[in-house]
Structure formats: C-alpha cells, structure tokens
Amino acid sequence: MADTPRDAGLKQAPASRNEKAPVDFGYVGIDSILEQMRRKAMKQGFEFNIMVVGQSGLGKSTLINTLFKSKISRKSVQPTSEERIPKTIEIKSITHDIEEKGVRMKLTVIDTPGFGDHINNENCWQPIMKFINDQYEKYLQEEVNINRKKRIPDTRVHCCLYFIP
C-alpha cells in the first residue's frame, strides 16, 4: 500500500474579491527572540564594571591593560613613605569607552588602592563590601522607582579580581 499525503486530494478554494490574500512575513518564532536581543544589545552597547583588589605591586594594572589590549588602568606610582600608609581604602573608578568590530562597551575599572597594605588587615575588606552592596542597592532603588529612567546607569560590580600576594 502506497503512502499518500492526507491533503493530496484537497485543493485550496480561491480567495474571493473581498478577502485579502495572506501576507508572508517570514518565520516568527520564539527562537528569533535571542537574535533580536543580541542585535539590540550590540546597538546599545554594554556596560562592564570590573573591580581589582590587592596589595600594591601585584600587577593589577598590568593585567587589566593586557586583558583589554590598551592603557585602561594607569600604573600606580610608588608612593613616598608618608603616602604609603593611607588611613582608609579610597575606591577610584576609571571609565573608558571601547569599540571593537561594531560592539561598544563602557568599561569601568574600579581600583582599590591601599587594600591590604597595612600591618593589621583584619577588617580591610569592609569598605569594599560596603561599596559593592551600595552599588547594588542603588541600582535596585532605581529599578523599583515608579518614575524610573529608560536606561538605568549600571554601576554594579560585575567582576571582582582579587590578587593574592
């Protein structure tokens, strides 16, 4: 017995004058959402915030400059003996706009000079944790705001590199 398609004998009725012919828009499916999101993200660009934490002289700036193939993080100058003992950890941010192959990225390098340079480093991590938590709290408050901005600036720490001496 030969297999025949079910609709082989059926013919589609011609469309009447009042009916519009179906328009083919191509395939529209859930799998095309990823490509749409990718195109939108490429057009808008990305924000990436990286924090580098570690004692002085461990190569934090060198690693960041090597990763992004440019002078993004300035090398720290050896401080004098008076400058060598900071009272608190001062967190500094350096922002750069990078574009490669049509993809824009706003890169923020968050540096923590003075981290771990003391004799007693018992609670040296607290200012860093406070900074990270504050950035997440700030972003959350912007996101739940009734009159929020269309594009919320993202200052959250996406990656933290900890350099072990």
pLDDT digits (tens, 9 = 90+) for 9-56: 445 555 555 555 555 556 667 778 888 888 888 888 889 999 999 888
CA 32 distance to own-chain centroid: 23
- Please check whether residue 86 is in contact with residue 25, taking contact to mean a CB–CB distance below 8 angstroms: no
Kindly report, residue by residue over 90-130, the tens digit of the pLDDT: 788 889 888 888 888 899 999 887 787 777 778 888 889 99
Assigned fold of 46-162: Rossmann fold (3.40.50)
- State the DSSP code for 100: E
